[in-house]
Amino acid sequence: MAHVTLEQLRDVFARLDSGSRVVASGNFATPGPLIKALDESLDSYLLHMLNAHGELPDREGVLLETAFVGPAMRKRKGLRYVPCRLSMVPHLFTGPLPPDVVLLHTSTPRYGRVSLGLEVNVLPAAMEAARARGGIVVGMMNPRMPYLYGDAEMLTSHFDYLVEVDEPIISVDPSEPDLVSRAIGTNIAALIEDNATLQLGIGAIPDAVLTQLKGHRGLTIWSETFADGVLGLERAGALSKDRPIIASFILGSEELYDWVHDNPRIRLLRTEKTNDPAVIARHPRMTSVNSALQVDLYGQANASTIHNKIYSGFGGQTDFIVGAMHAPEGQAFIALKSWHEKSQTSTIVDSLDARVTSFQQTGVATEQGVAHLWGRSQAEQAKELIDSAAHPDAKDKLTEAARKHGLFR
């Protein structure tokens, strides 16, 4: 392990093979200075990140690759999207997508260790895969990165190069949920009991669910990610003090980062643990809440595609839906608004014209109500979706479509 400057690191990058696959921290831990140094030193490379934020190089010779599209990669020409459940991404690194370089955003060292901070996710697997094939691992030590425990802690000896920077961490302040999102949150919260274990995806609607759970008690978090809504539950006394808060990465405000920093109750684990459906299924009353763009009358969801172009990806939805549905008293919900304001169209549709995943979740919740799907026939599911979740302006059209599909006789 060597402590180097960014200038010295450019010399290291310049010796890499053209076309090297580089895996970097994603989400709000994007290591901007490392990516910039790499881009200035290497003519051609492939950059793999999950849910990438910030500014990424946009030039000939740079190929972007991901299993979950973030705002920094969205709409980029030539993007290489690799469909994969989040729990399976580590297997890509030991199989078809072996990394040559791993760039990590870390805390400053303590007693021979650094923390991966806000992003653990698939990064330990990428480090192991790179080292196993003689690749290099670079850490960008930042005093502003919160120090978190669990699999986030790494020995400095696991890095080939460490460089010190002082860079702001990406953050976003929470916003008040709108009336429709709040209604959806109320509908789902009414179906969640005390002592439940929660997983919530990214977005306004999952956050709105958390705001409606502050009166609950004994709740536990086992999730791939969380944001400021969990801090709200903590302050309301809704979370169990006896069990740790588990996730794999964190997105949120500076206030949230102050709370998670050096907090022994919060443990970030690698994705293979947090997203393992068998592990998820061991949690009593495991409740999964995720968003989608559309749901059809067969209960199938489009959670990742707009106009047949990839918008995000599978993420951990399928991992948690499967795990929650196998848990004792477990349940899984897809939550979405019933009406898309910009296009003035229903989000409950007769059939999907995009790639789909049949989740077979407990129910679908909109501000109109909750359609209970589990254990019901296709026709019953369609009727539930129309009666309980669809916007009133769409009900007649959906009923007619259901008849055409042979769902209603």
pLDDT score of 219: 98
* C-beta separation of 9 from 16 below 8 A: no
Per-residue pLDDT, averaged over 392-397, amounts to: 96
Torsion (CA) 215, 218, 224, 228 in degrees, nearest 10: 40
Domains and CATH numbers, the chain: 2-164 (3.40.1080.10), 179-404 (3.40.1080.20)
Which residues is 345 bridged to in the sheet?
340
| CA distance linking residue 113 with residue 110, whole number of Å | 5
pLDDT score of 5: 95
Give percent of the chain with pLDDT exceeding 70: 98
Give percent of the chain with pLDDT exceeding 90: 78
Closest among 230, 270, 228, 235 to 249, alpha carbons compared: 270
pLDDT score of 205: 85
pLDDT score of 58: 95
Per-residue pLDDT, averaged over 174-203, amounts to: 92
Of the residues 224, 234, 367, 384, only one is catalytic, namely 224
pLDDT score of 377: 59
pLDDT over threshold 80, residue 309: no
Residue 93's Cα: distance from chain center in Å?
19
Instruction: Return the SS3 of 39.
Output: helix
Per-residue pLDDT, averaged over 170-194, amounts to: 94
Structure tokens belonging to residue 233: 């539950």
pLDDT score of 312: 87
Is 272 catalytic? The answer is no
| CA distance linking residue 167 with residue 171, whole number of Å | 12
pLDDT score of 84: 85
pLDDT score of 407: 78
pLDDT over threshold 80, residue 186: yes
DSSP 8-state class, residue 394: G
Per-residue pLDDT, averaged over 23-45, amounts to: 97
**pLDDT band of 138, cuts 50, 70, 90:** very high
| CA distance linking residue 307 with residue 293, whole number of Å | 11
> Alpha carbon of 350 to those of 78, 102, 284, 311, 361: distances in Å?
32, 44, 34, 21, 18
Query: Rounded to 5 degrees, what angle do the CA atoms 126, 82, 14 make?
Result: 50
pLDDT digit string, tens, across residues 55-105: 999 999 999 999 999 999 998 888 888 888 899 999 999 999 999 999 999
Per-residue pLDDT, averaged over 317-325, amounts to: 94
pLDDT score of 65: 93
Number of CB atoms found within 10 A of residue 308's CB: 8
- Contacts by 339-345 with C-beta closer than 8 Å and gap 24+? 339/391, 339/393, 339/394
pLDDT score of 409: 67
* C-beta separation of 114 from 108 below 8 A: yes
pLDDT score of 93: 95
pLDDT digit string, tens, across residues 334-375: 999 999 888 899 999 998 877 676 555 789 999 999 999 876
Regarding predicted confidence, which is higher, 382 or 128? Answer: 128
pLDDT over threshold 90, residue 303: no
pLDDT over threshold 80, residue 203: no
Which residues is 370 bridged to in the sheet?
365
DSSP string, 147-201: P-EETTEEEGGG-SEEEE---PPP--------HHHHHHHHHHHTTPPTT-EEEE-
Q: Please provide the average confidence, as pLDDT, over all residues in the chain.
A: 93
